[in-house]
Amino acid sequence: MEFEAVIGMELHVQLKTETKLFCSCRVEFGAPPNKNVCPVCLGMPGVLPVLNKKAVEHALRVAIALNCRINRESLFARKNYFYPDLPKGYQITQYTTPIGWNGWIDVNGKKIRIKRVHLEEESAKTVLEGDYAYIDFNRAGIPLVEIVTEPDLTSPGDAVQFVKTLQTLLRYLGVSDADMEKGQLRCEPNVSVRRRGEEKLGTRREIKNLNSIRSLERGIRYEIDQQIKILSSGGEVERATLLWDEKEEVTRPMRMKEEEEDYRYFPEPDLPPLLLTEDFIKEIRKTMPELPHERKERLIKEGLREYDADILTRDLERGRYYDEVVSLTSDPPETAKWVITELKEKFPPARELAWIINAVKEGKITRNAGKEILKEVIEKGKPAEEIVKEKGMTQVSDEEEIRKLVEQAFEMHPEEKERLFSGERKLVGFFIGEVMKLSGRRANPGVVKRMIEEMLG
């Protein structure tokens, strides 16, 4: 292709804290409108903000996980603009000194540079209904972390992988649920296109209102195509902020801008500089959880296939469940197989699945019986051991007992028996099947096979 896309990304992440960034109002998803408000987050005159320490810890965790340099001293600033969902008429954010800067993250082997990570407050939420716009101030003042990348992404697929990687990371850190549908993670890509080989970046356009991974992918793809069309017909791309129309799957200009808006940033006079002591940073570093890439590497080292390790890394809930079960079975590959292929949404108590896996390995029950038992454990909530006893599903490995069953099978199929004994070895499988049937699927197939082979001499 003659053109190439250059994409940068701005992410806003709602941090998972009990209370808002500068007041003690609760952070709660789905609360009745305007329930969690107070004079501070409503922007009443004369009130003073008090910084939430937990939010600072979360932001610092993000900055550390993104390999950022940390500013030991950072300032809060006022970003002034006039909009109905901004009660104070300004947003408290970090401008000249973000908490973290100059970091990077590895996305499928590609290094994406992180320009900055900073802390700021969320605006209120505008809800459009018919001819009216309603404002819900529950959201005003929720702590956000903003993550800005350098323009290191080159395709819609890249952008999707980047966001998914960050989503997983944020969940591991426990700083956000990062659910795009709930608005806890919002991404605004800026897209430009240039002729291949050209150094200079093209004019970039920002896309807003991308509420899902699917929209993100489609929005960027659409915008790249638009810009290529404009450039190939000799036109010039105009700088703009675009809104993604999810229904029509097109972008529409929200505003065209000739230059950066002037937000008249100035230092927030009501908050002292944020000082992070060496001890505080050390403490946070010490309490960092295992990160996704570390986890994946560990799982592979423990003997899992890359594919399985990947699933148990991306799906945190399943991964944590796996950890619990494997601690009771000490057999990573076998445990991964069960946790990945045999479980849908409902997970039984870890000790029950571990009991089943161990029982199959010890030859107490067959694999198929194990699967059946697992189903019942999930549906009825009964212990696996009890189900096995009740149903008499214990596997038969006793050689004498199995020899009798083989003989019985031979008697039932004399013709096949003769063909088998005159050299038609493929009939071994047929007789294994017959013995399994006779035993009510409880015979140990390995022992059955060995017995038949022994009898053949």
Which residue's CB is nearer to Zn ion, number 122 or number 372?
122
**18-37 positions binding Zn ion, by CB under 5 A:** 23, 25
> Cα separation of 146 and 9, whole Å?
10
Find the part of the chain contacting Zn ion (CB under 5 A) among 38-46, 47-55, 105-113, 313-321. 38-46
> Cα separation of 57 and 63, whole Å?
10
Quote the least distance from Cβ 113 to Zn ion, whole Å: 36
Which residue's CB is nearer to Zn ion, number 85 or number 385?
85
Quote the least distance from Cβ 52 to Zn ion, whole Å: 11
Quote the least distance from Cβ 297 to Zn ion, whole Å: 43
Which residue's CB is nearer to Zn ion, number 122 or number 223?
122
> Cα separation of 92 and 71, whole Å?
18
Quote the least distance from Cβ 90 to Zn ion, whole Å: 16
Within 48-109, strands assigned E span 69-70, 73-74, 77-80, 90-93, 100-107
Contact between 92 and Zn ion per CB under 5 A: no
Which residue's CB is nearer to Zn ion, number 8 or number 49?
49
Among 3, 10, 38, 135, binds Zn ion (CB under 5 A): 38
Find the part of the chain contacting Zn ion (CB under 5 A) among 15-23, 102-110, 276-284, 347-355. 15-23
Within 130-279, strands assigned E span 132-136, 143-149, 185-195, 205-208, 240-245, 250-256, 266-267, 274-275
Q: How far is CA 451 from CA 98, 338, 412, 422, 438, in A?
A: 73, 29, 17, 17, 15
Identify the CA nearest to 448 among candidates 393, 392, 391, 401: 401
Contact between 41 and Zn ion per CB under 5 A: yes
CB 17 within 8 A of CB 212: no
Quote the least distance from Cβ 37 to Zn ion, whole Å: 6
Quote the least distance from Cβ 26 to Zn ion, whole Å: 9
Q: Which two tokens stand for residue 134?
A: 């309603």
Contact between 55 and Zn ion per CB under 5 A: no
Output phi, psi for 355, to 5 deg. Answer: -60, -45
Which residue's CB is nearer to Zn ion, number 35 or number 214?
35
Tokens 């063909």, located at residue: 419
Quote the least distance from Cβ 62 to Zn ion, whole Å: 23
Identify the CA nearest to 339 among candidates 315, 310, 314, 318: 318
Which residue's CB is nearer to Zn ion, number 45 or number 130?
45
Which residue's CB is nearer to Zn ion, number 142 or number 360?
142
> Cα separation of 63 and 356, whole Å?
42
Contact between 66 and Zn ion per CB under 5 A: no
Quote the least distance from Cβ 49 to Zn ion, whole Å: 10
> Cα separation of 349 and 210, whole Å?
38
Which residue's CB is nearer to Zn ion, number 35 or number 264?
35
CB 22 within 8 A of CB 41: yes
Quote the least distance from Cβ 111 to Zn ion, whole Å: 40
Which residue's CB is nearer to Zn ion, number 30 or number 234?
30
For Zn ion, the binding residues (CB under 5 A) are 23, 25, 38, 40-41
